């Protein structure tokens, strides 16, 4: 089943603005609420949202084996369970329907009115029900930076780091979609020089620039996924801001790793960009030295060139860019992460989400967290309005964007953008 959607020469009859993340070659998947308050699975071309539930009811997926209600759902989990062959058939068909030379929907005003929406007529929802969330720690630069700060230069990388794609089990109940405001968390911290902790609002709320992949049902209990088959079980990728409270983290993380410092919120971009759409942007993975154990050795190009950036926008203020990075810097690739995750027989299900870990590059302006950008607050960043930031302040909006670009086409992720609110205040009884 070849992919025909990526043909860079294809034009569409839907208007696509210059530099749009969503040309007809992208065809991502998401879930939205329509102007009629109906929840549906959809895609997007340019600034037009497309109701796949309505397209299916009107017969546009004829000949593809799909259940009648596959797109009339509040999550993509069942569609993702249908597997790679079906994803590709559906994506190819969408590309065909919106091809500039295909009159079927283009010239059917009544159907267009049912299927197409302006972006201001819809509200994006969580694209999947995330059953399990795992967060890796796969950027060598990030691990080295954080290790240097917490343990000194000589012990920056733990002895296991170059052998294992290190990760931990996160919490799926607090994964939210772009646009959802997030409260500053409270918790225990240990003030400098003190031997006993205090309780209160975190003073060091941070973002983590990450990407995350969404899996399909991959394996049964006991069954590992070989590294060179792993990509068959990855549906697609989103942007992830893995919000973190550094002061809470520092006090709690020994010996079992992060807990409440990380699970108060993780936010994702609403459109899942498929692995097929990313195919033209494969690049070599950073050289791995020492050679990993055989179950982590892979063939071919397993990294992806996705340009990433982070803006901070103060309340009523102007956006300031604070970071430019790239998904390709990640040391352990997604295939290795999934092979490692399942090598002990741990099952992975449809809708599971795996975070990359903070994606830092080698230069100061490519670090993927405030912790690194300001080096624990020692070098505050200047905002355009003249104010300074060591960490994220109440009222700040953190926006992450990402896109791939070659000479033919730009495939983007849109954005994940969330505002930090003050600590939650209980309603007065």
Whichever of 21 and 242 has its CB closer to Ca ion, that residue is 242
In three-state form (DSSP H/G/I as H, E/B as E, the rest C), the secondary structure along 137-194 is: CCCHHHHHHHHHHHHCHHHCCCCCCCCCCCEEECCCCCEEECCCCEECCEEEECCCCC
Whichever of 117 and 136 has its CB closer to Ca ion, that residue is 136
Beta-strand relationship, 266-268 and 175-177: parallel
The mark string for 206-245 relative to Ca ion (x by CB under 5 A, - otherwise) is --x---------------------------------x---
DSSP alpha helix (H) spans, 318-357: 334-342
Whichever of 82 and 208 has its CB closer to Ca ion, that residue is 208
Block residue for tokens 């007529």: 121
Element (DSSP H or E) covering residue 403: strand 397-405
Question: By three-state DSSP, how is residue 315 classified?
Answer: coil
CB of 210 to Ca ion, least distance (A): 6
Whichever of 21 and 352 has its CB closer to Ca ion, that residue is 352
Whichever of 21 and 135 has its CB closer to Ca ion, that residue is 135
Residues 6+ apart with CB under 8 A from 424: 183
Question: By three-state DSSP, how is residue 290 classified?
Answer: coil
Stretch that binds Ca ion, among 129-137, 222-230, 363-371, 391-399 (CB under 5 A): 129-137
Segment 17 to 46, residues that bind Ca ion, using CB under 5 A: none
Measure Cα distances from 269 to 39, 158, 176 in Å: 18, 32, 9
CB of 136 to Ca ion, least distance (A): 8
Pair of tokens at residue 35: 């102007």
Stretch that binds Ca ion, among 132-140, 172-180, 246-254, 408-416 (CB under 5 A): 132-140
The mark string for 159-198 relative to Ca ion (x by CB under 5 A, - otherwise) is ----------------------------------------
Nearest 5°: CA angle at 282, between 278 and 286?
Answer: 135
Q: According to the binding rule CB under 5 A, does residue 135 interact with Ca ion?
A: yes
For the question of residue 341 being annotated catalytic, the response is no
Q: According to the binding rule CB under 5 A, does residue 372 interact with Ca ion?
A: no
Residues that bind Ca ion (rule: CB under 5 A) add up to a total of 3
CB of 166 to Ca ion, least distance (A): 11
Phi then psi dihedrals of residue 162, to 5 deg:
-80, 0
Element (DSSP H or E) covering residue 57: helix 52-57
**CA pair distance 106, 362, nearest whole angstrom:** 48
CB of 123 to Ca ion, least distance (A): 27
Block residue for tokens 């208007």: 15
CB of 135 to Ca ion, least distance (A): 5
Stretch that binds Ca ion, among 134-142, 197-205, 367-375, 390-398 (CB under 5 A): 134-142
Stretch that binds Ca ion, among 11-19, 34-42, 133-141, 380-388 (CB under 5 A): 133-141
Name the residue with the smallest CB distance to Ca ion.
Answer: 242
CB of 239 to Ca ion, least distance (A): 13
Pair of tokens at residue 59: 């017969």
**CA pair distance 347, 341, nearest whole angstrom:** 9
Whichever of 99 and 242 has its CB closer to Ca ion, that residue is 242
Whichever of 6 and 269 has its CB closer to Ca ion, that residue is 269
Burial class (CB in 10 A: 0-12, 13-18, 19+), 37: exposed
Stretch that binds Ca ion, among 45-53, 156-164, 201-209, 247-255 (CB under 5 A): 201-209
Choose, from 56, 111, 113, 142, the residue flagged as catalytic: 142
Burial class (CB in 10 A: 0-12, 13-18, 19+), 124: buried
The mark string for 241-280 relative to Ca ion (x by CB under 5 A, - otherwise) is -x--------------------------------------
CB of 264 to Ca ion, least distance (A): 13
Residues with catalytic function: 142
- Which positions touch Ca ion (CB under 5 A)? 135, 208, 242
């Amino acid at each position: 089943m070849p992919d025909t959607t990526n043909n860079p020469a294809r034009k569409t009859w839907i208007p696509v603005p210059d530099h749009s993340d969503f040309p007809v070659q992208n065809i991502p998947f998401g879930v939205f609420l329509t102007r009629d308050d109906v929840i549906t699975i959809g895609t997007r071309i340019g600034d037009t949202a497309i109701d796949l539930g309505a397209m299916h009811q009107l017969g546009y997926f004829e000949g593809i084996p799909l259940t009648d209600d596959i797109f009339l759902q509040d999550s993509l989990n069942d569609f993702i369970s249908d597997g790679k062959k079906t994803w590709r058939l559906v994506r190819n068909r969408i590309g065909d329907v919106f091809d500039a030379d295909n009159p079927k929907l283009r010239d059917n005003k009544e159907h267009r009115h049912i299927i197409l929406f302006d972006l201001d007529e819809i509200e994006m929802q969580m694209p999947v029900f995330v059953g399990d969330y795992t967060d890796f720690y796969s950027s060598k630069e990030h691990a080295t930076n954080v290790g240097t700060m917490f343990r000194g230069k000589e012990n920056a990388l733990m002895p296991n780091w170059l052998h294992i794609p290190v990760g931990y089990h996160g919490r799926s109940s607090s994964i939210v979609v772009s646009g959802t405001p997030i409260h500053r968390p409270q918790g225990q911290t240990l003030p400098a020089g003190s031997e006993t902790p205090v309780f209160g609002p975190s003073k060091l709320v941070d973002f983590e620039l990450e990407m995350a992949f969404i899996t399909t049902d991959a394996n049964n209990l006991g069954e590992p996924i070989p590294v060179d088959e792993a990509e068959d079980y990855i549906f697609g990728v989103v942007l992830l801001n893995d919000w973190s409270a550094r002061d809470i983290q520092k006090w709690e993380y020994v010996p079992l790793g992060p807990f409440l410092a990380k699970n108060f919120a993780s936010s994702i971009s609403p459109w899942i960009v498929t692995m097929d759409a990313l195919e033209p942007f494969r690049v070599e993975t950073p050289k791995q030295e020492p050679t990993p154990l055989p179950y982590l050795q892979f063939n071919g190009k397993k990294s992806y060139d996705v340009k990433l950036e982070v803006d901070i926008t103060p309340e009523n203020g102007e956006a300031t860019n604070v970071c430019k990075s790239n998904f390709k810097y990640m040391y352990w690739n997604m295939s290795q992460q999934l092979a490692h995750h399942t090598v002990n027989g741990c099952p992975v299900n449809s809708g599971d989400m795996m975070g990359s870990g903070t994606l830092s590059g080698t230069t100061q302006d490519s670090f993927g967290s405030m912790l690194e950008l300001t080096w624990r607050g020692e070098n505050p960043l200047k905002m355009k309005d003249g104010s300074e930031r060591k960490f994220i302040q109440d009222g700040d909006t953190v926006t992450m964007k990402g896109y791939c670009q070659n000479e033919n086409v730009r495939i983007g992720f849109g954005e994940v953008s969330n505002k930090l609110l003050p600590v939650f205040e209980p309603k007065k009884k």
